[in-house]
Structure 1
Amino acid sequence: MTILLKHFTHITPRICSRFISKSHHLYVPQNFSDYEDIQRNYEDIRRNYKPEHFNFASDVLDKWTTAERDGSKKPSPALWWINGEGKEVKWSFDELGFHSRKVANVLSDACDLKPGDRVIVILPRIPEWWLLNVACIRAGLVLIPGITQLTAKDILHRLQKSEAKCIISSQELAPAIDSISNQAPLLKTKMTVTGKREGWLSYQELYKAADDNHTCVRTKSTDPMNIYFTSGTTGFPKMAEQSHCSFGIGLTLCGKYWLDLTPSDVLWNTSDPGWVKSAYSSIFSPWIQGSCVFAHYMPRFDPSKVLETLSKYPVTVFCAAPTSYRMLVLYDLRSYKFKSLQHCLSGGEPMNPQVMEQWKENTGLDIYEGYGQTETVLICGMFKGMKIKPGSMGKAAPNYDIQIIDPDGNILPPNQEGDIGIRIAPERPFYLFSQYTGDPEKTAASQRGDFYLTGDRGTKDEDGYFWFLGRSDDIISSSGYRIGPFEIESALIEHPAVIESAAVSSPDPIRGEVVKAFVVLSPTYTGHDKEALTKELQEHVKKVTAPYKYPRKIEFVEELPKTVSGKIRRNELRNREWRNV
């Protein structure tokens, strides 16, 4: 394993000793006891970290297949999927390679896609989602994931902005896609993974007829591999482009140091497959480590099903959003026995210290927080062996130089509030996103001096722990979703009752925070029943944007606070909401 396993496996905190072979350049590692050990050993390999060519499918997944075949790795599931109703799929790395090569031929031949073409995939948690991710990498295609709650308007925006030539989805979303596909002139292929539909290719039929012999495209490590749409703030979502090495190699550190994975681990990450956290913890980080990815179809987060699953299946590592843990601790955790569970993690929004305490008291396990973005891979984390400071998001990941900076780009001393920045000079880290595709102005605006701006505010204490204070860009983080206020306000203004509005975050005991909209009504609607109007506006936003974005709280006001130049002061409204928390 000349790229990842040769250079990186010797710094794994835990490793399956049976997977040691001279032919794979592996040997027994030392055990790291603290964060400083991790940093020192990472520095030893930093300069060897970036190859000229890299492809995750051929340079990682296929190497694990070779290891399974020659006996240096015991065959075990690469993917273990269940639907909660008795059906399950178990694929070894060898089987994952077989199936994904067939799908790569479907994409290249039947869909007539060439390396560099962009493909939008909108699917729930089904095995085909994983196959399409790997197949796109094999074929050199740029994958653009989307969540199944996207509306026709959301999908049209993504098709037009990305210039995708193919969209792959299911029968459930097909009518919405058909209603707008004629407005995306570059879209030439639609393929449904389930069933048949006029004007759509059938994935199932094409898969059955496809050859399993496929030569992986030789991609440069800097070639684009994924594009994720971010949440919009002052505009619609941006397209964050990730290269083959940014995720395919950059997430090595996440898998080793934060998720703490080995080939014997079974990792269950509950995030939606359309969000970047699934790339983090359901594809790249675990498979770099040779771990098993566990998945439950579960269309909506169901706390009782989650607890039953953790009790029944040998999940060793569990990762979920803080909202999920807040729901889980409402149950009688002591009545469940998690016989295999060893390591619990959380990300996507700040974790409440009291929830961490409740989880630890009832399960005996700590929750390790992590902080990252669509653009960055893991930025900070509570790494195994570190002292946990409840409320902190941990220390900087060893592949990044993270600092708190002032408006001029100067590094601030400990305990002073500023912007969270990642050093990008004299050399930009390759695991950072490549660019906001098609938007050089926003790409440039994300830099201040020698730093990339995360858009978040925070402090760093004397021990090097970072503390999140809030967002500087008005993003609302609710139940693990990052929601841009612009989309909410744009949807509301389409309703005849609304003159103008402002969307901000508001505290919520279960979700952490939710969307609240302050609405100025048209004079013709001021006498309407406010409760009925609230429900009407909420349903309107659900239809125009996506169901998870709707404002769970609405307050009708006579005017909105504004700057001298006429810009709405969302921060003033947000501060008002959080003042007494």
Structure 2
Amino acid sequence: MPEPEEHPVDATGAYRQSRDQLLQLRGEYACAVAEFRWPELGTRFNWAVDWFDAVASGNNRQALVVVEEDGSTTERTFAEMSRASDRLASWLTAHGVRKGHPVLLMLGNQVELWEAMLAIMKLGAVIVPTTTALGPADLEDRIALGGVRHVICNAADTDRFDRVPGDYTRISVGEAEGWSNLRAADELEHTSIAHPNTAPGDPLLLYFTSGTTSRPKLVEHTQVSYPAGHMSTMYWLGLRPGDVHLNISAPGWAKHAWSCFFAPWIAEATTVVYNYRRFDAAAMLAQLRRRKVSSFCAPPTVWRMLINAELGERPEALREAVSAGEPLNAEVIEQVRRAWGLTVRDGFGQTETTAQVGNTPGAAVRPGSMGRPLPGIPVVLIDPATGHLVTGTGEGELCIDLSARPLPLMTGYRGDAERNVEAMSGGYYHTGDVASRDADGYITYIGRTDDVFKASDYKISPFELESTLIEHPAVAEAAVVPAPDPIRLAVPKAYIALAPGHEPTKETALSILRYAREHLAPYQRVRRIEFYDLPKTISGKIRRVELRAREQELADGRQANAEWRDDQFPGLKD
């Protein structure tokens, strides 16, 4: 337990001062970068107590609205969320949850998820957010690696733990045999929860990454790295007190905490979530209008689906349109601008950090660029070949300068000292992403360090090629990888997921190859395509590592080849 401070810091006041500074500097990017300072929070801080409860006291504005597919809603005010999480914290204490205990939280978009996040936080316990899509094998790994002491899930999911060993407390939402029903907390009388005396550096969150290039890593965040660090995300989103924010993201992944929990409630905005079994663009557009959403964040895939469904008139209250999760194609930005008069603003961050780079409100957006470093985030580019800092314009690995004490950065990868040394080498945190920077400081994503490759001695960015391919009406998604070639060493090959209404025929292949040839530089030519069911992580990101491995198997004759090559079409010969 931290030693009592001789002159206790007003953590709530310090936090509010930094938050308000960013609100006041909205639209003034240069000033925000120059003037913003992270709050000095002293030797103890707990976001649920020091910030959320302070904001929620007597506050009857909506904090959370959960909308179901049938139109029914569950709504909670800030004050109601505060009291409910107090009751749940008391109930969890009676069931053995203690400070420092890891609690695996596997719930969908339901009120209990937000209540449990706050309650676990108020006890000083550690939240292990987990997607509901996991099976027993993955759950066993997570419970073992995370040292999980307690599990909270829905009654319908308890059978997944029947074969998952471990001495962990079993807590369900709803009745389930052998599990304690969390809803019993609703019957308790309200009692305020005492501050758990958590220090800023104490662990708060353990996140498993989605594993696009390797097995999932276990990322540890502190009581401040996300709870205070997401002020950068709030600034990028452009949120203000009283806003209504709708974000599309599945619980269990870091982006859900970014945009459905921390950033809106830092801004004192309302979080709206919309549950559905299958995404329906028209239904989502109707919710934006019906719920008077002022800020909307969705991945590029969803933006493309909305465009294909016809955007119609701009939702009346919508002020901010934001995209994250994957790089945003310039054509998407232009189509939304034409329909709604709004510019979709791209941004970049990782599970390991909060938002690092973004196109911020009021600043000029350069299509294709993911923006500039956000206030308080010391982003730099490092030349991978030399390890030296790239100054001015240039290209390099996107990194964070550790000498600037970046508050929103993870503690590290838990239980993986070797990976931590690699990630933090040379005095920088290495994102593993390559980007370029122009003369005005705008940063453009090139690709993962593992994804960028050479063809005929030219450097190829898969993202650039994929951005062009998805503009073709037959292409729903594309993933470009190097295919071994006896003359050029490697050539760009595109794995294509077709849009509805298009068939995997020779004619479709020719049309796509011809389009790529007409819209890409000669050295970037996509020379092979294959219609394929793209392999993805459980969070929906394409696993190019599997496609690269498949290409090697094709080259070795260990896989049947079903690709179309440009040299099969006389009209496409060099």
8 Å Cα contact 1:149/1:548 also seen in 2? no
Q: Does 1:77 align with 2:88?
A: no
Say yes or no: does 1:61 pair with 2:38. no
Counterpart Cα distance in 2 of 1:264 and 1:339? 16
Deviation (angstroms), 1:126:
0.8
In the other structure, the counterpart of 2:172 is 192
Q: Which residue of 2 aligns with 1:95?
A: 80
Shift of 1:106: 2.0
In the alignment, structure 1 residue 418 sits paired with structure 2 residue 380: no
Report the CA distance shift for 1:34/1:374 in structure 2 as closer, same or farther (over 3 A). same
1:523-580: CA deviation from partner (whole Å, max 9, x where unpaired): xxxxxxxx9xxxxx989x99xx859579899897783679xxxxxxxxxxxxxxxxx9
Q: 2:408 aligns with which of 423, 427, 431?
A: 431
- Among 150, 154, 157, which residue is 1:170 paired with? 154
Partner of residue 35 from structure 1, selected from 7, 11, 29: 29
Tell me if structure 2 keeps the 8 A contact 1:120–1:166.
yes
Task: Quickly say closer, same or farther: Cα 1:50–1:453, change in 2 above 3 A.
Answer: farther
2:300 corresponds to 1:322: yes
1:240 has 2:231 as partner: no
Contact 1:409 1:451 in 2 (8 A): no
Equivalences for residues 167-566 of structure 1 within 5 A: 167-179=151-163, 181-182=164-165, 185=166, 187-193=167-173, 195-209=174-188, 211-232=190-211, 235-255=214-234, 257-334=235-312, 336-407=313-384, 408-425=386-403, 427-473=404-450, 512-513=477-478, 546=538, 559=553
Q: What secondary structure sits across from 2:410 in the alignment?
A: coil
Cα-to-partner distance string for 1:281-303 (whole Å, 9 max, x where unaligned): 11111111111111112244321
Q: Matches of residues 86-165 of structure 1 in structure 2 within 5 Å?
A: 86-110=71-95, 112-165=96-149
Displacement of 1:387: 0.6
Looking at structure 1, the residues matched to 169 and 420 of structure 2 have their Cα atoms a distance apart, in angstroms, of 30
Distance in structure 1 (CA, Å) of the matches to 2:78 and 2:17: 19
In structure 2, distance between residues paired with 1:393 and 1:550:
19
Distance in 1, Cα, partners of 2:203 & 2:323: 28
SS of the aligned residue for 2:105 comes to strand
**Is the Cα contact below 8 Å between 1:138 and 1:217 reproduced in 2?**
yes
Shift of 1:172: 3.4
Distance 1:557 1:449, change over 3 A: closer
Q: Distance in 2 between matches of 1:505 and 1:357?
A: 13
Structure 1 distance, partners of 2:552, 2:263, is 50
State the match for 1:5 in structure 2. 16
**Comparing 212-221 and 120-129, the one that deviates more:** 212-221
- Give the C-alpha shift of residue 442 in structure 1: 0.9
Note if contact 1:105-1:210 (Cα within 8 Å) is conserved in structure 2: no
Q: Does structure 1 conserve the Cα–Cα contact (< 8 Å) formed by 2:210 and 2:539?
A: no
Instruction: State the distance in 2 between where 1:511 and 1:172 align.
Output: 34
Deviation at 1:51, TM superposition (A): 3.0
Residues 88-143 of structure 1 deviation map (CA, whole Å, 9 limit, x = unaligned) = 12211111101111111222112x01100001111111111111111111111110
What amino acid is the match of 1:248? P
TM-aligned CA distance change 1:376 to 1:330, over 3 Å: same
Distance 1:386 1:337 in 2: 21
RMSD: 3.1
Q: Equivalent residue for 1:573? A: none
Contact 1:505 1:516 (C-alpha < 8 Å) held by counterparts: no
Distance 2:533 2:306 in 1: 27
Distance, in Å, in 2 between the alignment partners of 1:506 and 1:165 is 48
CA contact (8 A) 1:106 1:207 kept: no
AA matched with 1:190: R
Q: Measure the CA separation in 2 of the matches of 1:374 and 1:412.
A: 25
Overall identity of the aligned pairs, in %:
30
Identify if the C-alpha distance between structure 1 residues 93 and 233 changes in structure 2 by more than 3 Å, giving closer, same or farther. Answer: closer
Partner SS state of residue 81, structure 1 = strand
Q: Which runs of 5+ in 2 are unaligned?
A: 1-11, 453-465, 484-503, 505-531, 557-572
Q: 2: distance between equivalents of 1:233 and 1:100? A: 35
User: What amino acid maps onto 1:3 in structure 2?
Assistant: A
TM-score, normalized by length of structure 2? 0.77
1:270 is displaced (CA, Å) by 1.0
Q: Distance in 2 between matches of 1:304 and 1:444?
A: 48
CA contact (8 A) 1:151 1:546 kept: no
Q: What TM-score do you get using the length of structure 1 for normalisation?
A: 0.76
Q: 1:549 to 1:2 in 2, by over 3 A?
A: closer
| Cα separation, 1, equivalents of 2:539 and 2:430 | 30
Contact 1:222 1:244 in 2 (8 A): yes
Instruction: Name the amino acid aligned to 2:121.
Output: I
* Preserved CA contact (<8 Å) 2:314 2:339: no
Match of 1:160, SS state, is helix
List per-residue Cα deviations over 1:146-184 (Å, max 9, x = no partner): 1111122111111111110111112332222212x22xx
Relative distance call for 1:454 and 1:62 in structure 2 (3 A) is: same
Cα distance change of structure 1 residues 514 and 284 upon mapping to structure 2, 3 Å threshold: same
* Alpha carbons of structure 1 residues 461 and 50: separation in structure 2 relative to 1, 3 Å: farther
Deviation, 1:337, is 4.8
